[in-house]
Structure 1
Amino acid sequence: MKSRSRASAPRCMPCRLAAIGAAVVALAGTFAYAAGWLTPSRLTTYRIVDQFQANNGPHPGYRRNHAKGLCVEGYFNSNGNAASVSRAQVFAPGRTAIIGRFAIPGGNPSAADASVPVRSFALLFKQRDGEQWRTAMNSTPVFAVRTPEQFYQQLVAAQPDPQTGKPDPAKLKAFYAANPATRPFQEWVKTHPASSRLANATYYSINAFRFIDAGGHEHAVRWSVEPDMPYAPVDPQEKNDPDFLSKQLGEQLQRGSVRWHLIVTLANASDPTNDATLQWPADRQRIDAGTIVIERTSGQADGACRDVNFDPTVLPDGIKPSDDPLLAARSAAYAVSYQRRTREEALHGAPATRQP
């Protein structure tokens, strides 16, 4: 039996190599399919990120969206109230260190703060058990579209005309007319002027998620962070400074920390979890889970948030994604953007930033 076994080994070696080769080819085929090389007409993450670059121009070393930003650090002080709906350690009473990033939408790192009506706030909660919760929020409670395909179409419609350097109004109008689901977002932006500061805006998860409690029961939720500082709209004079938001935050932090309450909203059974264009009714149960405290800020070129990919699907035990199709698309797009900018940094060095 021993001699037979030794004799069979060489004969099986080609089989093993063939099997390994087949696995490598299959894996390569998977990547090729995901990249769209085998199906060029299919929408892929790469096409979405490429369209961001086409709309905003080349800015090596920067995020493809939310390129202009500012790093912040602080902590989350949980009061324990949300522990009844999620077993995530972040909701147990006590402090959790956080790294964050404020930003404005768009791929131009030199854009004026007043050029867009939306602010963004991303957070990474560093749990004591080593797990992380990452979230990327906007200052609007709804998103403009509900599917990745609609998002890509919106980007294409918004691509600047080479002659004017601005989007073609007719193309945008046609897109909005063909996609009535965008109306809640448009109406919200029209009736809610942009905040005068980063610290007096409310930020929303927009997408739904699922919390899992200690008993294994799931709860559909969205969350928001609501500021202690009263909201005020932008003063027209402030718009003259292209970096007024980051400067104001720096001045505030010299006088002390800035704070928000983390509010968890629980859905009813009839509330949609797969459509980010729709708000849930205002009478849904709300849980004040604790206080987010920002203590210091730093430039994004060398700050704590520089190397963080704020992928909203990086979640600890006790939180998981919902069936919202935008979540997987966001995660994939963030990964491609991260890969490109970090490769550019490795080749050419980190980009400079003019922000304080």
Structure 2
Amino acid sequence: MSLFRYTRAGQGPQSPRTHSPLPWIALIALILGVVALAFAWLAGWIGRDRLTAQRFTDTIEATGPAHPGFRRAHSKGVCVSGWFEPSAQAPTLSSARVFSQARVPVMGRLSIGGGDPYGADNTARVRSIAVQMVSDDGQEWRMAMNSFPFFAVPTAEAFYEQTRAQIPDPATGKPDPQKMAAVLAKYPSAQAFQQWAKSAPWTSSWANTTFNSVNSFWFTNAQGQKRAVRWRWQPQAPVVEMDADARKQADVDFLSQELQQRLTSGPVRWNLVVSQAAPGDAIDDPSVPWPESRDQVVAGVLSLDRMQSQEEGACGQLNFDPLIVPSGVRGSDDPILAARSAVYSQSFNRRERERASGNVEQPKEAAQ
């Protein structure tokens, strides 16, 4: 409601009627109070039992030794760079500029799961890729994708329970197996994830690993058609599996060593394969995979031709928030997607403060 009453077009404003200011003062006070409460709630100042990004990040940190200056999860990785070229079919999916620009520069990161920046590649079951694409109109698309095809649990609260179960018992120095067993008993998807971890092939390289969005998003094309999608980076390199003996003999840094050697022969490439939801598919639950029979479109090709350490490369300074998306792409209402975004931000802010204060763990070689 305006403080001025407008007459018909072209006649300009009339003088306002005289009213008591008390209702407006009360309304303004109410709005300010709601805003203050919202900020307090988001910051975790009220509702101490509420799950916040701060509590979640604290719990992640409690699962292992502190490594100041590093990411709280997927701590070990390398920076990569290259480009993305969309397919002719890509613009039918989304109006995002990256799907119509001939070539889009890419900066990214390849990593393994876990919070140890010196973890062993040959024992890491989860591998990840994160990319940042910046189109010529300045819009960004950041992706954070994993080698597992579905999430172990359906909600942010369940994810928090799972993370808490991984905190070591002070008496043994290891997680309490009964707590993890309780999570498995409560969530059938956690059992399915455990089965995936036991049975899925171990590939010999980041370059022949498939990476999945896991969470769902919405694409809208130039005609206004909207569809729920998930996507994956599907490797063009032939899949080579590693058996238990090969993994045992592999170097703890074999993934970065292998990629560096592979890049001497040219770029490594993945196809961007977009799957479209059918009626009844779970859009807001990442623990439910979609059938392989869903309509799929190859939306382009990612080419990476350069690798650097995360200390030297630009990827170390970037938060790969999966909800930073361009026009034509929107996140779903998946609560885990929102939780990932919030925790990534919290983790990024913490490590930036550590770096600014000089509280950064030095690489092992430098510390010796």
Please report the TM-score for the alignment, with normalisation by the length of structure 2: 0.87
1:167 paired residue among 172, 175, 180 = 175
**Structure 2: gaps spanning 5 or more residues:** 1-20
1:301 touches 1:353 (CA, 8 Å); kept in 2? no
Q: What does residue 197 of structure 1 align with? A: 205
2:111 paired residue among 103, 107, 128 = 103
Shift of 1:93: 5.2
Kindly tell me: are residues 136 and 350 of structure 1, through their superposed partners in 2, closer, same or farther at Cα, counting changes over 3 Å? same
Following superposition of structure 1 onto structure 2, how do residues 43-122 of structure 1 map, counting pairs within 5 Å? Answer: 43-92=51-100, 94-122=102-130
Q: What does residue 278 of structure 1 align with? A: 288
1:56 touches 1:106 (CA, 8 Å); kept in 2? no
Partner amino acid for 2:160? Y
Shift of 1:281: 1.3
Report whether the alignment pairs 1:308 with 2:315.
Answer: no
Shift of 1:351: 4.7
Shift of 1:265: 0.7
Shift of 1:26: 5.8
1:229 paired residue among 218, 231, 237 = 237
Give RMSD over aligned pairs: 2.1
Following superposition of structure 1 onto structure 2, how do residues 174-253 of structure 1 map, counting pairs within 5 Å? Answer: 174-235=182-243, 236-239=245-248, 240-253=250-263
Which SS does the other structure have where 1:94 is aligned?
coil
Give the Cα separation in 2 of the matches to 1:79 and 1:33. Answer: 44
Report whether the alignment pairs 1:265 with 2:275.
Answer: yes
Which SS does the other structure have where 2:56 is aligned?
helix
Kindly tell me: are residues 74 and 353 of structure 1, through their superposed partners in 2, closer, same or farther at Cα, counting changes over 3 Å? farther
Shift of 1:187: 2.3
Partner amino acid for 1:52? I
2:101 touches 2:135 (CA, 8 Å); kept in 1? no
CA offset digits 1:58-108 (Å, max 9, x no partner): 111111111111110000011221110100011115110001101111211
Moved more, 34-43 or 236-245: 236-245
Q: How many residues align?
A: 339
Partner amino acid for 1:171? K
Shift of 1:175: 1.3
2:334 paired residue among 317, 324, 327 = 324
Shift of 1:36: 2.4
Shift of 1:27: 5.0
Give the Cα separation in 2 of the matches to 1:87 and 1:298. Answer: 32
Kindly tell me: are residues 190 and 237 of structure 1, through their superposed partners in 2, closer, same or farther at Cα, counting changes over 3 Å? closer
Q: What does residue 147 of structure 1 align with? A: 155
Give the Cα separation in 1 of the matches to 2:138 and 2:127. Answer: 29
**Structure 1: gaps spanning 5 or more residues:** 1-11
Kindly tell me: are residues 290 and 209 of structure 1, through their superposed partners in 2, closer, same or farther at Cα, counting changes over 3 Å? same
2:153 touches 2:159 (CA, 8 Å); kept in 1? yes
Partner amino acid for 1:99? M
Partner amino acid for 2:113? P
1:118 touches 1:194 (CA, 8 Å); kept in 2? no
Q: What does residue 3 of structure 2 align with? A: none
Of all paired residues, the percent bearing the same amino acid is: 43
Give the Cα separation in 2 of the matches to 1:245 and 1:212. Answer: 37
CA offset digits 1:27-75 (Å, max 9, x no partner): 5543332232211111111111000110022111111111111110000
Kindly tell me: are residues 154 and 78 of structure 1, through their superposed partners in 2, closer, same or farther at Cα, counting changes over 3 Å? same
1:117 touches 1:193 (CA, 8 Å); kept in 2? no
CA offset digits 1:155-198 (Å, max 9, x no partner): 11111122332222221111110112323322222220322211
1:334 paired residue among 326, 344, 347 = 344
Please report the TM-score for the alignment, with normalisation by the length of structure 1: 0.90
Q: What does residue 14 of structure 2 align with? A: none
Shift of 1:242: 1.3
